[in-house]
Structure 1
Amino acid sequence: MADYDYDLFVIGGGSGGVRAARVAAGEAGARVALAEDDRYGGTCVIRGCVPKKLMVFASEFSGTADVANAYGWNMTSGSFDWSGFRSRLNTELDRLEDVYRSLLKNSGVETFDARATLKDKHTVALSTGETKTAKTILIATGGRPVRPDLPNADLGIVSDDIFHLDTLPKSILIIGGGYIACEFACILHGLGVQVTQYYRGAQILRGFDDEARGLIAEAMRDRGIELHTGTNIVQMGPASDDHSGPVPTASDAAMGASAQQEEIMAYGGVKDDAQGDRTGPVWVKSTNGREQVFDAVLFATGRDPNSTDMGLEEVGIEVGRRGEILVDEYSKTAVDSVYAIGDVTNRVNLTPVAIREGMAFVETAFKDNPTAVDHSLIPSAVFTQPEMGTVGLSEEDAREKEEVEVYCTSFRPMRTAFAGKPDRVLMKLVVSKANRTVLGCHIVAPDAGEMIQLAGVAIKMGATKEDFDRTVAVHPTMSEEIVTMRTPMRTA
């Protein structure tokens, strides 16, 4: 039997990789090492779920005074202190990163603050110049936001950069219609930024239930977000001094990198390679012919797996069109000794899924208990304002499979209706007409993410509409409507 430095070497210190490493070491008694070339905690803790949700909380306070006044309080809205918030945010992220490091250390995992690539199917090469061998290698390198293939795209920022801005822009253009684009549109609007959003499709949040995403789009516009669907960016460049148009320049092909950087600096930009590009006002032309200048442009146009330049194909690991590592149901690659989990596999790109995949990997590789992750009926939330919680099939997807009944209600919730607000919420169940199983549940409402977690338990268990009907309502709540809808709105 070959003598390896470790039983397991994990590449990537995000939620999935850290969970797999510490469980393999702590519960299975494996000799484990982990390499991370950035911050421990990965996308979720450092530049995704956690800081984003804290920004959601911050942005929601902007409307507190209006509602409070309707309830008899004498309150006035103040201004948002981005600098103070960012300082507290960074302190919290530092604390969480220390927690991740401590979890690994206390589990006996040896860590390397270095980039790791594959040298062969049992060997990793570290950016420190060291090489380490392991019987099993787990790749958990996550994903990264991408910019479109557009001249001057480096004038824009991506979602990772939001948390590092020295000041909030007064105006921003957000390109994209997915959950990241819509969440940041709502967040930044709530923090006082003038937000415009372009999405090339007919409706935002493609892939989610049509009725639910339609209500969110309506709510975003009602709140003052300038949302343009069927619209995309076709040209951009540094704005002129008077903001009347782009700076006249030579073509991008003729402009060297240094000249382009000088142009950015001349119009207020600050380039920081460690944290992304920081630019001044940007001139943008859209597909509808509109020309406008924004203080910032945010590209939320997708994420790609972090798999480039890792030596994967050289050792026989297969990757897909976008760079996703191809794995079987047990997260094993085409090379028996190498596994991959999380966003780098581009299966279901959610933190809890990466953690579940990490746990299943340990069961499979170290506990002689082959375990596959069930990727069906996964509850999720979109933290727009209002939030959307969803589990199961949308109405559109369900009716392609079978005949369904749709139970749906939309109403003004008590809390904001009393304050004279026009806000509406949506509760929706998609039910199989044949066996009465609830195929999907979709909620658009404040704290919808909290509600969908519990609905997800029932739907995962195969609850029928009659099971929901037999459940006594909690009154007065928004969520009681989920168990009080008796008559289908339509059959499809």
Structure 2
Amino acid sequence: MAKYDYDLFVIGAGSGGVRAARLAALSGAKVMVAEEHRVGGTCVIRGCVPKKLMVYASEFSHSFETARGFGWTIDNPRFDWPRFLAEKDKEIARLSGIYVRNLENAGAELVHGKARLIDAHTVEVEGHDRVTAGKILIATGGRPWMPKALKGVEHAISSNEAFHLTELPKRIVIAGGGYIAVEFACIFNGLGVETHLVHRGPNILRGFDDDIRTHVTEEMGRRGVRVILSTQHDAIEKTATGLVSRFTGGHHCESDVVMFALGREPCTDDLGLDAAGVKLDEKGAVVVDEFSRSSVKNIWAVGDVTNRINLTPVAIREGHAFADTEFNDKPTSFDHEMVASAVFSQPPVGTVGLSEADARHKYGKIDIYMTRLRPMKTAFAGEDERCLMKLVVDAESQKVVGCHVVGPDSAEMIQMAAIALKMGVTKQQWDSTCAVHPTLAEELVTLREKYLPPGLGQAA
């Protein structure tokens, strides 16, 4: 008789959990997956996918204006928010169904309900019997953090609710300076909403290269987003005409919706992790080693619940590595270095590797190659949009250690650049690449002159 009911029990059916469960089940393991909400997790249900659909929808307003410059007549384009929501929900349901079928086809058993650990090998799911498992994987993801002590916070929404607003607001205040806040500010602005982005720090997109941060702020302002820095909410008041955001310093702003995007926190509460002896860090994330194993030898965790790199492709790779290690006899750990990422702002950002500041701290002497230019498409239409491209190079080895792009198709460009940086490409090898003309991407492989900050000149 088997010692446990299941070989693997996965808590959470998001991208990381589903990948791990499928591969384990395909190896012949007996697998159960518990999901409290809809299958697909943050990415499919309330994150990457619906948000990217909203980005696409919001970009058309700018595209219409560009089209006029190419001779098109665009008469009275209108946006139907309820129709978009209905189509978006249909697509999310389709994708969630694919996740369910993939689990079932692999032979994994799916149950719906809140799962809690009773001990290191026993799991209780609401509405179901307790079961035991030889191995347990925590893949519960994260959720938006809300400032619960703020007066009037009950009148605000998080990014979760932004996907389900019954009406498109005329005015919105978005609090936060990370990629989620920036993306939603661009989305609502593109849909014709009067948009204010309020951030307590001196600049948005903390952790990104400083030139990128400044450039995105300027371009957002050019497109109509009002970016307000170095302030934050003191209170939110509901009035007869909307909501009043009161900020530090005494000024205020009226809107129809206030949205907080101040970061995310791991979903680890009420999982019974303490009963199993699983160690958490000061932010509530599961502490794991390079193989995603927790402090308890038969319990692992992948994805945002570990608060390593909170990106869907990373969660998938972590889940894959776990399954290979534990069920396919192929010890594998995911390398978290040189992971590319994108911000689907308008214009979008693509980045991989080190910022200039981080590279100087790590290597000391570095070379910078940077350009700002007007893309052919929008320049022809008479627009003043600017792109930014930047390479960060270790001066001694000439290895390219950072690549940063702001402009159309930057996410697509950075995916390819990431391959080169992951392989340790040098600037000389980078330069040997022949450009594709005419493209925006060719500017990346024709950066030859080292960048000197204004005022230094060649004397530097």
Q: What root-mean-square deviation, in Å, do the aligned CA atoms of Structure 1 and Structure 2 show? A: 1.2
Residues in 1 aligned to 2:128 and 2:320: alpha-carbon distance in whole angstroms: 31
State the TM-score, normalizing by the size of structure 1. Answer: 0.90
Task: Point out the more displaced range, 482-491 or 5-14.
Answer: 482-491
Among 348, 364, 368, which residue is 1:406 paired with? 368
Residues in 2 aligned to 1:74 and 1:417: alpha-carbon distance in whole angstroms: 18
Matching residue of 1:60: 59
Amino acid at match of 2:387: V
Matching residue of 2:267: 306
CA contact (8 A) 1:65 1:76 kept: no
Sequence identity (%):
52
Matching residue of 1:81: 80
**1:54 partner SS:** helix
Task: Point out the more displaced range, 450-459 or 287-296.
Answer: 287-296
CA contact (8 A) 2:11 2:140 kept: yes
TM superposition shift of 1:238: 1.2
Among 436, 440, 445, which residue is 2:402 paired with? 440
Matching residue of 2:251: 290
Residues in 1 aligned to 2:269 and 2:361: alpha-carbon distance in whole angstroms: 37
**2:403 partner SS:** strand
**Superposition pairs for residues 253-268 of structure 1, below 5 Å?**
none
Among 436, 451, 460, which residue is 1:474 paired with? 436
Residues in 2 aligned to 1:485 and 1:424: alpha-carbon distance in whole angstroms: 16
CA contact (8 A) 2:173 2:257 kept: yes
Residues in 2 aligned to 1:2 and 1:63: alpha-carbon distance in whole angstroms: 61
**Superposition pairs for residues 41-440 of structure 1, below 5 Å?**
41-148=40-147, 149-239=149-239, 241=240, 243=241, 281-402=242-363, 403-440=365-402
Matching residue of 1:9: 9
**2:51 partner SS:** helix
Map Cα deviations across residues 25-79 of structure 1 (whole Å, 9 max, x no partner): 11x1110010001000000001000000010000000122221111111122412
**1:228 partner SS:** strand
**1:83 partner SS:** helix
Among 442, 446, 451, which residue is 1:484 paired with? 446
- For these two proteins, the number of residue pairs brought into alignment is 452
TM superposition shift of 1:343: 0.3
Map Cα deviations across residues 243-283 of structure 1 (whole Å, 9 max, x no partner): 4xxxxxxxxxxxxxxxxxxxxxxxxxxxxxxxxxxxxx212
TM superposition shift of 1:88: 0.4
**2:435 partner SS:** coil
Q: Does 1:460 align with 2:422?
A: yes
Residues in 2 aligned to 1:439 and 1:181: alpha-carbon distance in whole angstroms: 27
Amino acid at match of 1:189: N
Amino acid at match of 1:156: A
CA contact (8 A) 1:80 1:192 kept: no
Amino acid at match of 1:146: W
**1:490 partner SS:** coil
**2:361 partner SS:** helix
TM superposition shift of 1:3: 1.5
**1:378 partner SS:** coil
Residues in 1 aligned to 2:24 and 2:187: alpha-carbon distance in whole angstroms: 38
Residues in 1 aligned to 2:352 and 2:63: alpha-carbon distance in whole angstroms: 30
Map Cα deviations across residues 407-454 of structure 1 (whole Å, 9 max, x no partner): 000011100001110100011100010000000000001111000000
Cα 1:439–1:65 change in 2 (3 A) is same
Amino acid at match of 1:83: P
Residues in 2 aligned to 1:353 and 1:108: alpha-carbon distance in whole angstroms: 24
Matching residue of 1:269: none
Amino acid at match of 1:430: V
Matching residue of 2:456: none
Map Cα deviations across residues 145-179 of structure 1 (whole Å, 9 max, x no partner): 01113122121000010111111111000000000
CA contact (8 A) 2:153 2:235 kept: no
TM superposition shift of 1:314: 1.9
Residues in 1 aligned to 2:342 and 2:162: alpha-carbon distance in whole angstroms: 21
**2:237 partner SS:** strand
CA contact (8 A) 1:405 1:490 kept: no
**2:382 partner SS:** coil
TM superposition shift of 1:2: 5.8
**2:259 partner SS:** strand
Amino acid at match of 1:444: V
**2:218 partner SS:** helix
State the TM-score, normalizing by the size of structure 2. Answer: 0.97
Residues in 2 aligned to 1:349 and 1:65: alpha-carbon distance in whole angstroms: 34
Residues in 2 aligned to 1:401 and 1:335: alpha-carbon distance in whole angstroms: 34
CA contact (8 A) 1:189 1:195 kept: yes
Residues in 2 aligned to 1:385 and 1:312: alpha-carbon distance in whole angstroms: 41
Matching residue of 1:273: none
Amino acid at match of 1:371: T
Matching residue of 2:412: 450
TM superposition shift of 1:209: 0.4
TM superposition shift of 1:129: 4.3
**1:463 partner SS:** coil
TM superposition shift of 1:288: 2.6
Residues in 2 aligned to 1:164 and 1:487: alpha-carbon distance in whole angstroms: 48
TM superposition shift of 1:490: 3.1
Amino acid at match of 1:454: M
Residues in 1 aligned to 2:64 and 2:163: alpha-carbon distance in whole angstroms: 26
Map Cα deviations across residues 372-415 of structure 1 (whole Å, 9 max, x no partner): 11000000000000000000000111011121000000011100
Residues in 2 aligned to 1:177 and 1:288: alpha-carbon distance in whole angstroms: 19
CA contact (8 A) 1:468 1:482 kept: no
Residues in 2 aligned to 1:296 and 1:400: alpha-carbon distance in whole angstroms: 41
Residues in 2 aligned to 1:77 and 1:289: alpha-carbon distance in whole angstroms: 40
